[in-house]
A and B are shown apart, each in its own frame.
Chain A
Amino acid sequence: MVEESNLKLTGESRQKIVALKQLYPSPRSAVLPALHVVQEQFGYVPVPPMAEVADILEILHGEVEQVATFYRMYHQQPVGKFVVKVCDSISCYLRGSDELLAQGQQKLGVKCGGTTPDGQITLDKIECLAACGNAPCIQVNDEFIYDVTPAQFDAVLDELKRAKKNPYFVP
C-alpha cells in the first residue's frame, strides 16, 4: 500500500494539467478536467495530487477539494480495477435494473458500493446514464453496455473477473 503522502503526479499528468491550464481563459476552469487526469493516474482522487493541481492552477488547495467532493465521478477512496455501475433511475428500474443489481451483489459477494477482495471489481449503482432507450444499461468504468439481460450481465462480470484491460472500450 502506498503512503498517501507519497502520491505524486507523474510528469505526464503534470504536463496534461499544465496544458489544460493554458487551454481556458481562466486557469481555474481546468479543475474538473485536471481531476479527471488525477483519477486516470491513480484510479481515484487522493489528497496530495489535489494540492498539486491547486498549485499548478494557482488556486487554494481547499478550492480543489470543494470541487472534487461535489462531483460524483471522482472517487475519494481507492476502487476496484473495474467499476461496474448499474443505472437505477426510472427507465432502467422499469426494465429490471434492481434485479441486475441484486444479481451482481450475489455473484460478486459484495454489497452495492463494495469491491471484491481481489480489488478487481467494484459494484455500484448510478443515477440516470441517459441511455433510457437501451434500458437497463450499465457502465464498466466509463464505457456503456446497453440492453443488458441477466445472462449478459453474468457474462460481463465473468469477463471482468479475469480482464486486464476494459474489454468494452469503444474508441
Chain B
Amino acid sequence: MADLVTLTIDGQRLQAPKGATIWQAAKDAGIFVPIYCYHPKMSPLGACRICLVEVEKMPKPMAACTTTVSEGMVVYTSSEAAEKARAGVMEFLLINHPLDCPICDKGGECDLQNYAVEYGREAGRFQEEKRHLGKAIELGSTIVLDRERCIMCQRCTRFCSEIVQEEGLIIRERGRLAQIGTFSDLPYESQFSGNVAEMCPVGALTSRTYRFKARPWELKHTSSVCPHCAVGCNIEIDNRLGRQVVRFMSRENEAVDDGFLCDRGRYGHGFIHSEQRLSTPLLRKNGRLEPVGWDEAFSFIIARLQQICQQFGSKAIGGIAGTHNTNEEFYLFKRLINDVLGSPNLDHYHGHFSSLNPEQVATFHTATIEGLDSAKLIVLVGVNPSVRQPIMELRIKKALKAGAKLIVIGPNAGALERFATLHLHVPMEQFSPAIGAIIAAMIWRGTAKGFEDPSINQHLQSVYGNFQTGDALSHEINRAASLLSKAETCSILYDEVVTQKAANADLVRDLINLVLAAGQFWSEGHGLGLLTADNNATGVRDLDLLPGQGGLSYAQMLGLKGATHLKALLVMGANPLQHVQKQNKALANLELLVVQDMFMSATAELAHVVLPVASFAEKEGTFTNWEGRVQKVNVSLPPLQGTAPDAAIILELASRLGEVLDIRTPSQIFDHLARISPLYKDMSYTTLAGKGQLRPLIREADEIEVPDWLQRATLPTPEILRQESEEYPNGLTDLLDAAPSVDVGRVRRAEGDGGTAR
C-alpha cells in the first residue's frame, strides 16, 4: 500500500495513512494523547499544546495534532521530555483557571479536570494574582459563558466561523486579554448554539437548560436518534438517576450528523416530562372525554369495532398513521388494519410520487447525506433545510466549503441562499415547468453525461425535445443547464412538501428525468434525494402504509373527496384535523374515532377514545431517515405511568380481536421485515445498533431501463395543473417555512401551549 507510512509510537510499530497526524495514528493504535483545541471537524490549530509529544530527531516537542506522520518516525508520548512539556502546558492552563470545580457544570466530565489529575503537578507553584474576568455571562437564550474558565482553544469560534459560517462567537482582544464574545456584545443566537457548549472542553460555555441540573456521575446514557426531523441525528439521551431526561448530547455519526445537533433537537426533550402528557386513557361519556382504565377503553373499542364490522363490513374501518412512530409500530398498525380488521383503508399524510410504489421511490432516490461531501453541484428544489432539516444546512455548507456549487430553485432556501451560485426564483407552482425547461436546455447543449446513453437520450428527446423556454428566466435556465451538464457529481434534493402543491404532483417524474440527463443515476450517493421533514416519514412509506386495493386515501378518509362510508377510524400518532377544515363532517360522523397520542390534539378532542402512549425515549425500535438509513432507538426510561407504547396497544387490540400476532417484539418484527422486504435486505436488528444501516439500492448496478411511467403525455407548462391532486385546505400553508409538525407540537408543548405532538 503506497498510501501508508510506518512509524513507531511508544515502541509500537504501526502503519498510518500518509498525511495523518501523529494524534490520529496514536488514536488508531489505541494510544491516548490528550487534546483541547483539536477538533476533528475543524482545521487543525495547534494552539493549546497539551498534545506535545517527543519525536526523535526533532529539536523540540511536537504537537501531535498538527504534525503529520512520516516514514520511520519515532514518537514517544510519555517520555520524560513529553511529560515535562505536557505538565508545563497543564500548569499554564491552570494558573489563571478558577478553582471552582465543585460548582462548575462541567465538573466530572471536564477535560481540564481530568488531564490535570493525569498530567499536572501535585502542588501549584503559581503564587501571583489570578486573572479576573466576567463570569456567568448570558450570551444569548441558550448559552452561558464563564470567561475565567476559558482556555482559548477556539473550538467554539472556529465552529461559528468554519462550520456555521454566520455571525457567532468571536475572539476579542489579544494575548492574555483575549476572550470570547460576540460582535458588539449582541446576543448569541444561532440554531446550532448548543454545539459550542458540547464541544467546549472546559466549563466556559454551558447550556442554560442543563445548568445545575445534574452531575455527570448521576447520568445514564442511552443511544438514540433525535425525533425532531428526518435527518435522524444520533443522540445520547442523558437521564438523571433513571428518572429524568436532562439533556440530549451528540453521538457522532459522520454519515448522518457529523457530530452536530441543532438546538431544536438538542433542547427538544422537555416534552418527555411535560405536565400536559396524557397519562390515562380517555373515553367519551356524555359528550365529554373522561379518564377510564385501560380495560374499559379497550373493551369499548373492541365492542364498537365488532359492531361496525358486523353492520357495515370491514371496509367501514380505516387507519391513519402518523410519521413519527417506529417502523415496527407501523408494521403492527398495518397488520392490525389490513389483516386483523381486514380493511384496505390505510394511509398517512405524504407527498405525491406519480404513482411510484415505495420500492420505486426508494430506487430512484439515491442521494445520501455523506454523498453531499463529494458533490460538485448541489441543486435544492423547494428545500429550506434551515427550518425543516437544520443539520442539512451545515452539511450543505460543508460541501460548499469544499468547492461545490449550489443552485437554488424556489422561493426560499433559508441561510443557504447567500451561498447560491445561481438562484432561480421560481414560484412553487412552476417547479415542473422549470425542471422541464432545464432538461430541454440540456438537450439543446447536448453535452451532459446522461446523453451519452442512447436510450436515455432518446427518451429525454421524446419527452422534452420540443419544450419551449422563452421566458424571462431563460438566462438562468441556461446557466442551470450548463452547471448541470458540467457537474461531475451532483445531488438534487427536493422537499416532500412541495409535491403536495397541485402543480407539482408529477414533479418527481421531471426530477428523475433531470437526474438521468445529468448522468447521476449511477453515481453512488449522488442523484436525487427526497427530503422529508418528519422523523419517520420515510419509514412509514417504505412500510407501505398506503391504501390497498380499493382502499380509501388519507384525503378520502377525511372526507375531502366527498362523503365516505367510513364508520371507524384508528389514528396512531397523527393529527389529521390540522390538514382539514375545523368543522369536518367526516370525522364528526364517525361512530368510532380512536387516537393514540402523547398529548391532546385537535383530532383527539373529537375522539371517542384517546389512548396515552409512550414517548420515543421510553421504547425501542427503528426510524428511517430521509436518505433511507435505518437507525435504532433504545429505552432510556420506562413509559410514563399510565401510558403504553403504541406497539403494546396494537398487540392488545389484535389479541382482543382474536388474533394473537406471533411477531411481536421490535427485533422479531425488524428481522421479519428484513426477510420479506427488499428495502431491508441484508439488515438485521442487531447490526443496526450503533451507526444504523443504509437502505440498499434496489437496482442492478450500471443498468437501468427507462420506465414507461417516466414518459409524459403532456409537456409540463405553467398552464397545466393536475386534476387529481390532493391539496389540503389547511395543508401546511406556508409549506417551506413550516418546521416539521412534530416540532410545532413539541415546541409549543414546552411553552405550555396546545397543538399536535408525538
Contact = CB atoms under 8 A, between A and B. Distances in A.
B174 A61 contact: no
Given A65-B172, A66-B172, A70-B173, A60 B184 contact: no
Interface in B152-191: 160-161, 166-174, 182-184
Interface in A122-143: none
Contacts of A62: 160-161, 167-170, 182-183
A65 B170 contact: yes
A47 B184 contact: yes
A69 B168 CA distance: 16
Contacts of A51: 183-184
A63 B166 CA distance: 10
Contacts of A69: 172-174
A38 B556 CA distance: 66
Contacts of A60: 161, 166-167, 183
A61 B160 CA distance: 13
B184 A66 contact: no
Interface in A79-132: none
A36 B57 CA distance: 46
B346 to A, nearest CB: 50
Contacts, number: 36
Contacts of A66: 170-172
A61 B173 contact: no
Contacts of A50: 183-184
A35 B184 CA distance: 16
A63 B172 CA distance: 10
A157 B182 CA distance: 39
Interface residues of B, number: 14
Contacts of A61: 167, 183-184
Main secondary structure of the interface of B (DSSP, over half): mixed
A156 to B, nearest CB: 30
A132 to B, nearest CB: 23
Interface residues of A, number: 12
Contact of A63 (B170, B173, B182, B184): B170
Interface in A47-84: 47, 50-51, 60-66, 69-70
A63 B174 contact: no
A26 to B, nearest CB: 16
Chain A CB within 10 Å, residue with most, of B160, B171, B174, B183: B183
Nearest to A66: B170
A155 B223 CA distance: 76
A170 B166 CA distance: 44
A65 B184 contact: yes
A18 B73 CA distance: 51
A60 B166 CA distance: 7
A66 B161 CA distance: 12
Interface in B656-685: none
A34 to B, nearest CB: 16
A44 to B, nearest CB: 14
A64 B161 CA distance: 12
A63 B158 CA distance: 12
B173 A65 contact: no
Nearest to B157: A66
A116 B34 CA distance: 51
Contacts of A65: 170, 172, 183-184
Contacts of B171: 66
A62 B164 CA distance: 13
Contacts of B170: 62-63, 65-66
A66 B168 CA distance: 11
Nearest to A70: B174
Nearest to A4: B184
Chain B CB within 10 Å, residue with most, of A47, A50, A60, A63: A60
29 contacts: A47-B183, A47-B184, A50-B183, A51-B183, A51-B184, A60-B161, A60-B166, A60-B167, A60-B183, A61-B183, A62-B160, A62-B161, A62-B167, A62-B169, A62-B182, A62-B183, A63-B161, A63-B170, A64-B183, A65-B170, A65-B172, A65-B184, A66-B170, A66-B171, A66-B172, A69-B172, A69-B173, A70-B173, A70-B174
Interface of B: 160-161, 166-174, 182-184
Interface of A: 47, 50-51, 60-66, 69-70
Give me the 4 closest cross-chain CB pairs, A-B, nearest first: A62-B170, A62-B183, A69-B172, A61-B183
Given A62-B161, A65-B184, A69-B173, 9 more contacts: A47-B184, A60-B167, A60-B183, A62-B168, A62-B169, A63-B161, A65-B170, A66-B170, A69-B172
